[in-house]
Each structure stands twice: as structure tokens, then as C-alpha cells.
Structure 1
Amino acid sequence: MKLLIPTEGSFGYKIMCLVLAGIYAWFLMGLDIDGYLDRVNYLIYAQYSDEIFATYAASSLKAFITNEPVWLLLNIWASKHFSPEDTLRIIIFFSSFIISFLVLRSYPKYAFFLILFILMPQVLKNHIIHLRQGVGVTLFFLGWWCRYLPLRIFFIGLAPLVHASFFFIDALFLLNIAFSTYRISTVWRVVYTLGVGVVLGALGIWLAGALGARQGDNAIYSGTGAGGTGLAFLFWIVFSVIFFMEGKSFLRNNFFAASILIFYLSTYFLLPVTARVFESGMLVLLLASLGLTDWRRYAAYGLYIFYFFMQWYPVLGIPGYGWAAEGSM
């Protein structure tokens, strides 16, 4: 499996990335601290994580591991030094700064699209309403682009202990290591990934409950499928056709990104949390697609722009762009 390694930009470009990442993070940190969805819950974590941590630790090892202990430890540490409000601001600033800098510096040739990526709602919301997921994505990318193997394993392994969606992402990562180790053909990689997707899609929530994860007992996750109108499914079907038409060599080098897409499509009608899992790996897929060539590259460019505007257009004029807490704006 070929890891995405950032290309070397000029010193001036890196400084520009630092400045843009700083502006991005400062703006997000400065938003009304309790004016958005889920912020009340995050303030509770910032105040009472020690009690929540003790509850899970006293239950069972499997419940402790599957209920994001590193996220709780981060909040416990921060609560010793900062107020709950400042804890959230620090988490927002550093997670958004690191991920935006890593993305912006990665491929200077595609700077316009890199900016587009970090402004997409599915990325932006990780630093507005899904703060835990934002930290998980940041840790995963620190590992994904780390050249030192022990640190790579450390950060990638840490991500699911911050946000449970990365148990699925890391499973796909390990599956791709097995594919590369045993030199599995591209066709069989697709077949095996589809099989894993269907099995996890059918059993995922039951498995979460059996392991003691909070998602297993949450009524929000008790249904089937990702919900919505199915337009996202159709969009990513089109995207996958373009992605797979690049050829076997491209797919072999970027199959981890392809497996995230395959998993999402195969679990769309089965797994309630599949959208959250996909959002955790979406940047990997978007960055990999920058390597498309010929007409497929321009088709992908068009899809990026279409997706960006179709995601933002419905929420323009809505308080908090649809993320505002009730009665706050």
C-alpha cells in the first residue's frame, strides 16, 4: 500500500500554509462557544470527563476501550488547567490548525482544491459541531503522513480511542496492509472489501452494543442505513466510476482511499453511522483523487466544485448554516 507523502513546497508556500491554517483555526475557535449543536455536550465532557472515565473503567475493558478513553483523558488533562469554555477553544484551535496545515502543504500544485477541501461542510463541521471527530481525523493524518513507523502506528492506533468511527477506518487500513503483504489482485481487493462492508454494515451496531460502546444503546443508531434522500449515494457512485476508471496501477497504489469509498457505498443502506465513518476518511479519498489523469482529472475537478456548492447552497441564510443550537441565533 502506497502512502500519500506530501510533496515539497517552497519555504514561502509553507509560510503561506501556516498563515492560512492560523486564520482558519482562529476563526473557528472564535465562534460562539455554546451557540452550536453538541457544544453543550462537549462542555459536559470538559467538566465531568473524570467521572465518565471512571464509570467506563469500572465496567469492563471492552467498554473502556470502545468508549473513546483518549478523548476523555484529553478533557481530564485540560480541565486541570483551563475552564470548560477554554478547553473547547484549545481543542478547536489545535485540531483545525494541524489538519488544515497538513492538507494545505501536501500538494502545492493543487492549492485551490486543497482550500476547497478544508472548507467543505463535512470537513468544517469537525471543528464546529463534531469536535471529537475533528481530533480523531487530526491524529489519523499525523500518523498517515508520518515517515517514522512507530509514530505512524501510534497516531493511527490512537484515532479510534478518540472517535469510534476510526475502528472502521483502521480496520480498512489493516485490510489494505494484508492486501499489499499478500499481493492480492485489484479485483479480489474489491470483492473482499465489499464483503467486509456488508458484514460490518449488517452487524456493526449489534457489535457496538456487544462491546459496550455507547452507540450500541443509542436510539439514534438503531435504524438502518445512512438516511437522507440517496443523492449522496448517487454522487459517490459517479465519483467511484471515475476513480476506478483510472486503472489498476492507480487503484493498487491508492486502494486504501478506494476501500473507504467501497465501504461507504456497501454500507449505505445497512449501517446508520456509515456517513460518519466516511466523513472520517473523506479527506484521504479527495487527496488521492488529485492523482487522477486525463479527462478523469477534470471530471473530478467538476465534481469537487459541484459537491461544494450543492452542500453549501441549501444552508445559506440559515442561522449558523444549519449548525446553530436551538434558540442561540
Structure 2
Amino acid sequence: MLIALCYGAFLAALPVDIFADRDNYFEFIQFSPVILLRHLSGGIHKLFTNEPIWLVLNSLIGLLIEPRAAVRLIIFFSASVTAYYLLRTNPKNIWWLLLFLFFPQIIKNFVIHLRQGLAIAIFLMGWFSDNHRRKLILIGLTPFIHASFFFVLMLLAMVFIYQRIRFAADLRNLLTILSASALGAVLLVLARFVGARQGVSQETFTEKASGAGFLLWGLLVCLMVLQGQTYLRRYSFAVTAILFYLCIYFTSPVAGRAFESTIPLVVLAGLALTGWRRMAFLGLFVGFNLLVMALNSQKPLMGFAPGM
């Protein structure tokens, strides 16, 4: 807990104005009540598909503290909670996890994508809860903090159904590929239909599909499959999340952002690999992130500055 609190405090103490999209979050603190009313005027469906809990939380925090302090509070809570659950769940890999927490794929959710970082923290609180009702409530709240968790809940439902029917791992993975491909084809159409902001403003989620991420996670999911049936049953959600990402990587602009919401659990699954597969996972994951950091080393704040 002490390490997690230090991690959150370190990120919250960074200069609050220097990262991308901060003005947007300052506006959320100040104008969330207005945004809520605007969504409500468009119908109850528009309200519930545009992250109302995030807006309510910002409205409440904005009544108590000024915007910059509010942003620091959100960063501190999200980063500390995420770090705590990762480190507590897998203490024998504490040094690897501490390294991963500073990699771009994870840390950007606490310095740029604050709304997603908060949703990830709430999701992990539910995922690791021993109380079934609390688990369902916390996980169920996450799509109303960040819309990417609608996809996460769909994946959880798929895994639950396949496990209840007792499908074999290979059949389950095939069905996941087919389901993900079909879902990816209609995601933006559904978003526009219900009035979600992602359907209207795609640039928020747009990711450059260079193929590097596809290659990395394609190799990593192969390692997981090679680990065997017992592993695939235990970490079925992580494997399903990767397959979903790979299926919509080149066809949907939401692929990367939706997958980022599952990264903490995918990392834990990767660390559970054994033998040469574990070494390969560590080499690929660390190497990929170091390469990303090297390519962005000449950019202000490693590419996290405004306008980058």
C-alpha cells in the first residue's frame, strides 16, 4: 500500500498543466452539471451512453475544490488504487510490476486519459472484491465512467456464457474471434445510433494502426495458447481481450482504447506464464515499450505534451 500511495502521489505531484488534454479535464470540473443537463435534454439514452457517473463525480468534486486540485485528486486515486491491486495480487513480481507501471501503455491512463484511468481503478476494485454484490456493482459502474468498458462488459459476458456452456478453450477462442469480428463491424454504427460521443467524435479514439501492436499481442496470445488448457481456463478473460483487440485492430478506431482498459489483467496473465514462455513474454513486452519510449524520447514529455 505504501508503494502504491507513493506511486499515486508522484504522478499527482507532477506539474498539472504540462500534459495533453488537461484543459478538457479542467472544463469537466467546472461545467459537468451543464454537460449533464445537455445530455439529459437529448433523452435518457443519451445521458446513459455518455459517461454520467464521470460527470456526476466531477460535479461533486468541483463543489469542494478548485479544478487543478481536483485533477490531482483523480490522478492520485486512480494511480494508487491500480498500483495497489496489481502489487497486492502478485507481490512476487513486484519489481516487474513497478517497471510496467511506468511504461507508456499503463502510465498514460493516469497522466492523459484520466477518465479511463479512474474507470480502470474502479474496475479492479470490483474484480478483486470478495463480495459478489460489490463486485457486480463496481464493475457495472465502469461503463458510465468511461465508455470503453461497455466493450469490457461484453467480453465478460462472452467469457461467462462460454464457461457456463463448458466450451473447450479452442472452440471458445474461435467463437471469440467470430463474435469480435462481428461486433467490430457495427461498433460505430451503434455508437451513433444511441448518441454516444464516440460515434460523433471518432478522433478521441483514433489509433494509428501501424501493425506493431497487432504483431506484439499476436505473439503474446500465441504464448498463452501454448501454455495449455488449464492456463487458458484460468485466464480466459485476458486471452479473450487480446483476441478481441486483434480482431478489430485494423477495422475499428476504438480497438486500442478498449484494450487499454484490460491491460492490467492481461499483464497479470502474462506474468503467470512459466518457463520459456514467461521469458518470451517479458522480453517482448519490455522490448516493445522500451522501443516506444525510445521513438518518443525526442518529443516533449515522451509525446504526452499538448499537441503531440
Which TM-score applies when normalising by structure 2? 0.96
Instruction: Please state if 1:116 is matched with 2:107.
Output: no
- The 5 A counterparts of 1:179-194 are 179-194=162-177
- For the residues of structure 2 that align with 1:29 and 1:323, how far apart are their CA atoms? 15
Task: Specify the code of the residue in structure 2 equivalent to 1:47.
Answer: Q
Q: Report the 3-state secondary structure (helix = DSSP H, G, I; strand = E; otherwise coil) of the residue aligned with 1:325.
A: coil
**Structure 2 equivalent of residue 283 of structure 1:** 264
Instruction: Please state if 1:147 is matched with 2:130.
Output: yes
Q: Does structure 1 conserve the Cα–Cα contact (< 8 Å) formed by 2:7 and 2:80? A: yes
Gaps of 5+ in 2: none
- The 5 A counterparts of 1:79-94 are 79-94=62-77
> After the TM superposition, which segments of 4 or more aligned residues of structure 1 sit over 3 Å from their partners?
none
Q: Does structure 1 conserve the Cα–Cα contact (< 8 Å) formed by 2:202 and 2:253? A: no
Q: Deviation per CA, 1:187-214: give whole Å up to 9, x if none.
A: 2211221112111211101110101101
Q: Report the 3-state secondary structure (helix = DSSP H, G, I; strand = E; otherwise coil) of the residue aligned with 2:64.
A: coil
- For the residues of structure 2 that align with 1:265 and 1:178, how far apart are their CA atoms? 21
- For the residues of structure 2 that align with 1:38 and 1:235, how far apart are their CA atoms? 28
Q: Report the 3-state secondary structure (helix = DSSP H, G, I; strand = E; otherwise coil) of the residue aligned with 2:279.
A: helix
Task: Specify the code of the residue in structure 1 equivalent to 2:139.
Answer: I
**Structure 2 equivalent of residue 309 of structure 1:** 290
Task: Specify the code of the residue in structure 2 equivalent to 1:323.
Answer: F
- For the residues of structure 2 that align with 1:178 and 1:126, how far apart are their CA atoms? 30
User: Post-superposition shift, 1:94?
Assistant: 0.8
**Structure 2 equivalent of residue 39 of structure 1:** 22
User: Post-superposition shift, 1:160?
Assistant: 0.7
**Structure 2 equivalent of residue 164 of structure 1:** 147
User: Post-superposition shift, 1:219?
Assistant: 4.5
- For the residues of structure 1 that align with 2:76 and 2:64, how far apart are their CA atoms? 16
Q: Does structure 2 conserve the Cα–Cα contact (< 8 Å) formed by 1:205 and 1:222? A: no
- For the residues of structure 2 that align with 1:148 and 1:311, how far apart are their CA atoms? 39
- For the residues of structure 1 that align with 2:205 and 2:285, how far apart are their CA atoms? 32
Q: Deviation per CA, 1:113-133: give whole Å up to 9, x if none.
A: 111221111110111110000
Q: Report the 3-state secondary structure (helix = DSSP H, G, I; strand = E; otherwise coil) of the residue aligned with 1:80.
A: helix
Q: Deviation per CA, 1:62-95: give whole Å up to 9, x if none.
A: 2111100000010011011011111111111111
CA spacing shift, 1:239–1:36, aligned 2, 3 Å: same
Which TM-score applies when normalising by structure 1? 0.90
Q: Does structure 2 conserve the Cα–Cα contact (< 8 Å) formed by 1:165 and 1:277? A: yes
Q: Deviation per CA, 1:151-176: give whole Å up to 9, x if none.
A: 00011101111000000011101111
Instruction: Please state if 1:255 is matched with 2:236.
Output: yes
Instruction: Please state if 1:72 is matched with 2:64.
Output: no
**Structure 2 equivalent of residue 23 of structure 1:** 6
**Structure 1 equivalent of residue 252 of structure 2:** 271
- For the residues of structure 2 that align with 1:80 and 1:26, how far apart are their CA atoms? 23
2:191 to 205, 208, 221: 208
Instruction: Please report the RMSD computed on the Cα atoms of aligned residues, expressed in angstroms.
Output: 1.5
1:54 to 16, 33, 37: 37
Gaps of 5+ in 1: 1-17
Task: Specify the code of the residue in structure 2 equivalent to 1:193.
Answer: T
How many matched pairs?
Answer: 308
User: Percent identity between the aligned chains?
Assistant: 34
- The 5 A counterparts of 1:96-111 are 96-111=79-94
